[in-house]
Amino acid sequence: MSKEPKLHSHHNGLKTAALLGLLTALILGAGYWLGGSGGLVFAVLISLAMNAGSYFFSDKLALRAMRAQPVSEAQFPELYAMVRELSQAARQPMPRLYVSPTPQPNAFATGRNPQHAAVAVTEGIVRLLSPRELRAVIGHELSHVYNRDILISSVAAALAGIITMFAQLAIFLPLGGSDDEDGPNPASLLLMLILGPLAASVIQLAISRNREFQADADGATLTRDPLALAGALEKIHYGAQRMPLPADGRLTSAAHLMIANPFSGGGLAKLFSTHPPMAERVARLRQQAGAIQYAR
């Protein structure tokens, strides 16, 4: 595998550290603002729990949300062969393999590092794609693992959740400035309720969209087959649109990990999707294929 994913991994490690620092600072600042020194102590405990949860348990939450179950090589020999081949080519440990009973074609990777990683595919994607296309999808998901994308996206999700939680709690907080000294300031309350979820969405959008482009390019480099990934993405996109998943709480927390947006929707839902436009991803992969052909 090229040196590029290692460079991405280093950058994502720095981003993760920065997000963890921001998450901690946000919790501590809110705790002191709400409860003074006593609130600060409580905020420290919350911060430690949030950071530990983001680091150690994000994989379990995502797998549970998709009802994914571990599978053996006897059950899915072809899938195991693909993952083993690509892992060996990248000189990385083989991840745990899971299959979700979901008929929608989709896939995701989770885990804090290559030693504690899992790759999950849906039954729908196994039925829909050719072996060549499925191998390309596996390369994409393994690139997420090698680039440490899963950890950074989990931390970003935790940060976004904290921002949204504070915004939702604003209605109960005495922010001052109203006729009733113990009541909330309507202007401040409205600002928090609007900007809180907006900030959370922007954080997830910025990180997730960039990492999808990056994983597409690195996955195509690993498999040496960008056109197979381009074809797979087109099939997955149309399949997901025909069979969208319900946007409930558990699934929305895992949606940003998937190779394609599992939900339907337009307007603001489309604007704040954590996935870049599929047409742009396919165009970049075809451009990458053209560059490889030209280099030969």
**Any idea which residues carry the catalytic annotation?**
141
Look at residues 32, 10, 236 and name the one whose alpha carbon lies nearest to residue 133.
236
Q: Which of 176, 173, 175, 168 is nearest to 194 (CA)?
A: 168
Q: Residue 102: what residue type?
A: T
DSSP state of 267: T
Q: In b/e form, how buried is each residue of 253-289, taking b as 16+ CB within 10 angstroms?
A: bbbbbbbbbbbeeeeeeeeebbbbebeebbebbeebb
Residue 16: half-sphere exposure toward Cβ, Cα within 13 Å: 21
Contact 142, 119 (CB under 8 A): yes
- Residue type, position 189, single letter: L
Which tokens is 128 given? 């829909």
| H helix runs in 93-185, sequence order | 123-128, 131-146, 149-169
- CB neighbours of residue 166 within 10 Å: 19
Provide the CA 177 distance to its chain's centre, in angstroms: 39
The answer to whether the CB of 111 falls within 8 A of the CB of 150 is yes
